[in-house]
Chains A and B, each alone.
Chain A
């Protein structure tokens, strides 16, 4: 395409794209907005604004990313071909199935109609690049393909190498005569790009590719392979997954309420705390990170400002919901979130922590949606990881490079299994209803019914043969330790667990009554004894706080003091026949007692009587204030050594070379002003420049330009162009 043509096409294309949009029907526009939602966020003011937004870089990137492999190939072909395009030419360059795709691209406003022709927005060409599908630049002159018959053999080889891209090649020197390259250049089969680079013009490329743009096109997604499963088995595995994941969330919250972890300084949960949580739940660290993230997403756990990770009040509300409500909440949040729990603990993602700030990945939710759709379309199939990965690669090609795409597929499959959306790798009927947004997912019906009883056994264990109702579970766990978890729960009673119950304010009788009421089996005698033994011992030793004690061997005096109305304000309390305690300070108590007519004496902590009660002493250590003011006269020794030190210092500095001229100093603003003023003026400036060791040197420079906080200037010292970091420049003066 000649330059003139390009200019014309630009001039025409912008208004005509807006016109074409204007001409679209309401339903077509609605479809466009459905496919490219970012176009109406916010709603543009008019069609011109819409056309500008639709051809803006960020919007095009999004639109291109949402294309599958085949759609993208067609689009690439459109960009590679010369405008105006026709459906026929596009089909010729690709496949006849492209007709459908063209409509899809038009719907997305990635192509637009110009009368009978089709056009691609100019910006799209820039976005896809100058070498679509590995085709070279548009050549300046017409090529006579017939000439090829006379081409030297080496020339054919060169062309063959460049045919399927990359279209550029390195040669020794394009000006060298008599070579195959020279022949090709002469006959316009190659264009010289610079002294050592040649490129194959696009029309030559297309000709050699026999009119096709791609070597191989994939009009359909690769077949998914995997194992066939039975729906009943899938559902059985899935319901186990569902009950597990809910239990995990529940247990993790209860565990963190007891053993509260702290966030790292960088935010997020440390690996050690994650490991502990994983151990507690009996799952892998990956799975623990996943559960922690689920809880975080649903707001039932939060990192407090003081860095403690604690369940929130939402957790209490969450517990009151039915299992189905709980599950739908976490599954929905999981499918929508951009946070990727799988990144935690991945070898090359250090400092990425659960509940941390580094987990967001833009394409995570899209990949999840694609995978769920993929599973939905293939009932009873558990796709293998490889095949799922290549399938997703077709549906949602990875255009950014990196391995995350494949990882995300793996993690999504793994997490859907944990969530019970899949069972044994295939979509469960719960997952199906979830994706289809059914009114009821029928989880409550499928989960085992909660039981309201336990079985107590003689070995001091109790077994809940199913999920316990929340009240019973909560009550029981205050005075029994959980020994084994799963469909059932095994509790163990021990001295310490019973004591914990008593500490929580239950009495021995309460525990016994509760157990007798809840247990289907009679309470074994040893357990009854254990409870009453601990209850008997519990609280026998009492600990409290008092400031002062009063001790008197004469109990009559003690009683008299207790009955004395004048001493009521001391709030005396008798703890033994001969001992009274009080919260008042001992000095005050003694004085009050004296004024009430008693004869108390102070007692030291060894039990001896403090006789010199009048001499009060501070409790703090001596801490005299510093002396500020005239220094006292120094001693002769100090004077001598001071003089010696001074002399030594003198000698040392005398030996130092003379400092150079003063380095210029100016404020940052002055520096910038001065530099901007003299940029490109060919005036020499003197600057002070701090080196990496902190020393400041003086340089004479000619400033050339400033960019990214760096001054580019010619240094008179070295005669070379150098880069100076502006923050390091201490000052500037004209030379």
Chain B
């Protein structure tokens, strides 16, 4: 029995002891087939899923290799049944193939007629199939490619897609690396995606996902549609592309509420894509009305349902999803996998931090004790209002203001959920505020002033949760949030993770009202970051006033 770093559990989780000398080798060996679930400080958890194993098969790893790796690094003997299961699961991949045939067009083909029989009988699959050509071949309408793949995946017989991608309209795009270089992990991510065809790249906030997108475009050298969360993010993308690639301003179009430009590279917002006019999605033909060679989904964890549906129809176009937090509170991670593509690249946040590409962060939970009056108010509130009542107390506001004053020399972001609350803080501190009704122009102006250091403190609502690039922000004070959302917490921390010019660390304060639902939500919110190895330290609000931080 070896004394390896890996423990294979009977529920198919893999526990990797990262203090073990072989842990780095092991991590590299299991990464292709096991999915990183969490990476706290001592033991990382990976999971063997059917999807992960099929991905590995798609990338050319066979079951024997996977089993060898497991046995090689395992600390304890692995139950034979589990290994058999791994081999069987991997054996299911590729029995069905989607190919394009010169005569029949798109076809579903299998060398195992029994499997074909089984899937043809599937209630969900049958309507997606066309005429039977012979015992091993069935025609498929190209528009059903995505739906069929989804349905087959659910049946447990994933089809290997050899039908390829359309190239799209060619357009010369290349990276211009003057004064900057692509980082190793960015290169790996872009290549991982390109060889996989389609898929999702997961990188921490501030680790330069835009550059991965730009690199993917340089691989594709074709017209590209980029979908982003909001207009400010759209403009950030444009600026970044102008800086990093040979693209000119007139080659990049913005398709948003304000402008409707269609250029070789078009950046559209999710909002405009899902706007309905007379009950119809008016702008969805942007998707297939043009011969895009690549579609990039920024912040793919926020992808709205109509876009999912539409994505199923455009399976012949290359798709790249970018995110820092592939967790959806609605549990639709599976849809992201089957429609955008499998996860092509993922790396623990702490590893990027160790390489110095994101700032080290100190997460602090500030426990605020409510006054007698506030407690009573909370106790008598209706259940649905309770979070609001405890999250917007005056005591919390006082603590937030005190914190802002302590950090008056730093670039501070104060982030809140409730507009009344952030309005008050903004007027009390006499600092500008950005919220939903702030015009785009003013937002951009304020962000620029903040970036340049003219404004030291900015109060923002949830509009600044993601995509907003504020390199010098080093302090974030969160006073309230969307209940227990894990990804929101991570994204907000992400706002301050850009490495600082002077190498300072970032600090993230989360204000939590003691003995209320706020505390329960906070625990859930912190889970993603805790699983990424961020350890919260807890201080009492009184320490803020006495300056013991």
Q: Does B418 contact A (CB under 8 A)?
A: no
Which residue of B9, B71, B80, B530 contacts A490 across the interface (Cβ within 8 Å)? B9
The 8 Å CB contact of A484, one of B13, B71, B526, B537, is B13
Candidates A237, A459, A495, A529; contact of B79 at CB < 8 Å: A237
How many angstroms from the CA of A244 to the CA of B78 in the assembled complex?
10
Q: From A455, which residue of chain B is reached at the shortest CB distance? A: B42
**Chain A hits for B472, CB < 8 A:** none
Cβ 8 A contact of A241, one of B75, B76, B79: B79
Known: A240-B76, A460-B530, A526-B526. A487 touches B7 (CB 8 A): yes
Is the pair A459, B7 in contact by a Cβ cutoff of 8 Å?
Answer: no
Do the beta carbons of B9 and A525 come within 8 Å of each other? no
Residues of A within 8 A of B10 (CB): 244, 282, 485-486
Whether the pair A525, B535 counts as a contact (CB closer than 8 A) is yes
Nearest residue in A to B534 (C-beta to C-beta)? A458
A152: interface (CB < 8 Å): no
Which A207-243 residues have a C-beta within 8 angstroms of B? 236-237, 239-241, 243
> What is the minimal beta-carbon distance from A444 to any residue of chain B, in angstroms?
14
Query: B483-526: which residues lie under 8 A (CB-CB) from chain A?
Result: 515, 519-520, 523, 526
In the complex, which residues of chain B have a beta carbon less than 8 angstroms from the beta carbon of A463?
A: 15, 42-43
In the complex, the answer to whether A244 meets B519 with C-beta atoms within 8 Å is no
- CB-based contact B76/A526 at 8 Å: no
B40: chain A residues within 8 A (beta carbon): 457-459, 461
Per-position contact with B for A444-469: 1 when CB-CB < 8 Å, else 0?
A: 00101000000101111101011000
Tell me, yes or no, whether A537 is within 8 Å of chain B by CB: yes
Option from B11, B78, B365, B530 in Cβ contact (under 8 Å) with A459 = B530
User: Is B7 within 8 A of A488, CB to CB?
Assistant: yes
A86 to B13, CA, bound (A): 69
CA distance A485 to B7 in the complex (A): 10
| Complex: A526 Cα to B38 Cα, angstroms | 17
The CA of A533 and the CA of B514, in the complex, are separated in Å by 9
* CB closest residue in chain A, given B71: A236
Q: Is the CB of A424 within 8 A of B80?
A: yes
A591 to chain B minimum Cβ distance, whole angstroms, is: 41
Chain A residue at smallest Cβ distance from B20: A465
Q: Are B531 and A459 in contact (CB under 8 A)?
A: yes
Closest-CB distance, B116 to chain A (whole angstroms): 27
With contacts A457-B43, A521-B42, A529-B538 known, is A487 near B80, CB below 8 A? no
Please tell me if the beta carbons of B78 and A240 are within 8 angstroms of each other in the complex.
yes
Q: Which residues of A contact B79 (CB under 8 A)?
A: 237, 240-241, 244
Judged by a CB distance under 8 angstroms, whether A417 is at the interface is yes
Whether A458 and B7, one on each chain, are in contact in the complex, defined by CB atoms closer than 8 angstroms, is no
The minimal Cβ–Cβ distance linking A545 to chain B, given in whole angstroms, is: 26
User: Which residues from B are CB-within-8-Å of A485?
Assistant: 9-11
Q: Is the CB of A490 within 8 A of B15?
A: yes
B8 touches A486 (CB 8 A): yes
The reply to whether B8 and A525 contact each other, CB–CB distance below 8 Å, is no
Report the Cα distance A618→B448, complex, angstroms: 82
Please give, as numbers and ranges, the residues of chain B lying within 8 Å of A241 by CB-CB distance. Answer: 79-80
Q: Which residue of chain A has its CB nearest to the CB of B81? A: A417
* B-contact 0/1 string along A495-534, CB 8 Å cutoff: 1000000000000000000000000010011100110010
A423, CB-defined interface residue at 8 Å? yes
Complexed CA–CA distance, A537 and B535 (Å): 24
Q: How far is the CA of A227 from the CA of B515 in the complex (A)?
A: 63
- Does any Cβ of A come within 8 Å of B77's Cβ? yes
Closest chain A residue, CB of each to CB of B367: A529
Q: A495 vs B306: C-alpha distance in the bound complex, in angstroms?
A: 38
CB A415 to nearest CB in B, in angstroms, measures 13
B536 within 8 A of A: yes
* A288, B79: Cα distance in complex, Å: 16
For residue B533, CB closer than 8 A to chain A, the reply is yes
Select which of A236, A243, A465, A529 is within 8 A of B17 by beta carbon. Answer: A465
State the CA gap A486–B537 with chains docked (Å): 32
**Interface residue from A417, A458, A465, A537 paired with B41 (Cβ < 8 Å):** A458
Q: How far is the CA of A35 from the CA of B243 in the complex (A)?
A: 92
Q: Answer whether residue B527 sits at the interface, using C-beta atoms and an 8 A cutoff.
A: yes
| Contact in complex: A417, B7 (CB < 8 Å) | no
Given contacts A282-B11, A424-B80, contact A487 B75 (CB under 8 A): yes
Chain B: interface size category: 35 or more
Which residue in A240, A457, A487 is a CB contact (below 8 Å) of B42? A457
Cα A734 to Cα B367 in complex, Å, equals 103
**Given A237-B79, A423-B80, A484 contacting B530 (CB threshold 8 A):** no
Q: Given A486-B8, A525-B535, is A455 in contact with B77 using a C-beta cutoff of 8 Å?
A: no
Instruction: Tell whether A243 pairs with B533 under 8 Å between CB atoms, given A484-B13, A485-B9, A533-B519.
Output: no
Q: B275 to chain A: closest CB distance in Å?
A: 40
* Closest A residue, CB atoms, query B536: A526
For B527, list chain A residues within 8 Å (CB): 459
Question: Chain B residues with Cβ under 8 A from A423's Cβ?
Answer: 80
* Residue from the list A243, A457, A461, A495 in contact with B77, Cβ < 8 A: A243
Q: Is B1 an interface residue (CB 8 A)?
A: yes
Q: For residues 1 through 40 of chain B, which have their beta carbon under 8 Å from a beta carbon of chain A?
A: 1, 7-11, 13, 15, 17, 38, 40
**Chain A residues near B75 (CB, 8 Å)?**
448, 465-466, 487
Least CB separation from A521: chain B residue: B42
- In the assembled complex, which residues on chain B have CB atoms less than 8 Å from the CB atom of A537? 515
Distance of A599 from chain B, by nearest CB (Å): 37
* B533 CB contacts on chain A under 8 angstroms: 458
Within 8 A of B (CB), among A653-711: none
- B530 & A240 in contact (Cβ 8 Å cutoff): no
Judge whether A455 and B43 touch: CB under 8 Å: yes
Cβ contacts under 8 Å, A457 to chain B = 40-43, 530
B76 partner residues in chain A, CB cutoff 8 A: 240, 243, 448, 466, 486-488
A458:B530 contact, CB within 8 angstroms: yes
Complexed CA–CA distance, A466 and B367 (Å): 36
CB-defined contacts of A240 to chain B, threshold 8 Å: 76-80
Q: How far is the CB of A693 from chain B (nearest CB, A)?
A: 49
Q: Chain B contacts of A243 at CB under 8 A?
A: 76-77
Residues of A within 8 A of B42 (CB): 455, 457, 463, 521
A459 to B526, CA, bound (A): 8
Query: B1 to A458, Cβ gap below 8 A?
Result: no
B80 and A465 contact, CB distance less than 8 A = no
Residues of the A chain whose Cβ atoms lie less than 8 Å from the Cβ of B41: 457-458, 521
Taking the nearest CB of chain A, how far is it from the CB of B442, in angstroms?
39
Contacts of A237 in B (CB 8 A): 77-80
Known: A240-B80, A457-B40. A488 touches B15 (CB 8 A): yes
A240, A463, A495, most chain B CB atoms within 10 A: A240
A236 nearest CB neighbor, chain B only: B77
Look across to chain B and name the residue whose beta carbon is closest to the beta carbon of A488: B7
> Which chain B residues border A521 with CB–CB below 8 Å?
41-42
Task: Output the nearest chain B residue to A240 by Cβ-Cβ distance.
Answer: B77
The 8 Å CB contact of B80, one of A417, A448, A455, A458, is A417
Q: Which of B71, B530, B531 has the largest number of chain A CB atoms within 10 A?
A: B530
The smallest C-beta distance from A443 to any residue of chain B, in angstroms, reads 12
Contact A525 B538 (CB under 8 A): yes
The distance from the CB of B247 to the nearest CB of chain A, in whole angstroms, is: 42
* Contact B365–A487 (Cβ < 8 Å): no
A246 to B17, CA, bound (A): 25
Which residues of B from 38 to 66 have beta carbons under 8 Å from A? 38, 40-43, 45
The 6 residue pairs across chains A and B that have the minimum distance between CB atoms: A486-B9, A487-B76, A240-B77, A459-B530, A458-B535, A457-B40
Interface set of B (CB-CB < 8 Å, partner A)? 1, 7-11, 13, 15, 17, 38, 40-43, 45, 71, 74-80, 365, 367, 515, 519-520, 523, 526-527, 530-531, 533-538
Ordered by A's residue number, 9 sampled pairs between the chains whose C-beta atoms are within 8 Å are A237-B78, A237-B80, A239-B77, A463-B15, A463-B43, A465-B17, A484-B15, A487-B8, A526-B536
A interface residues (Cβ-Cβ under 8 A, vs B) = 236-237, 239-241, 243-244, 282, 417, 423-424, 446, 448, 455, 457-461, 463, 465-466, 484-488, 490, 495, 521, 524-526, 529-530, 533, 537
4 more CB-based (< 8 A) A-B contacts, given A236-B71, A236-B77, A487-B7: A239-B77, A244-B10, A484-B11, A526-B523
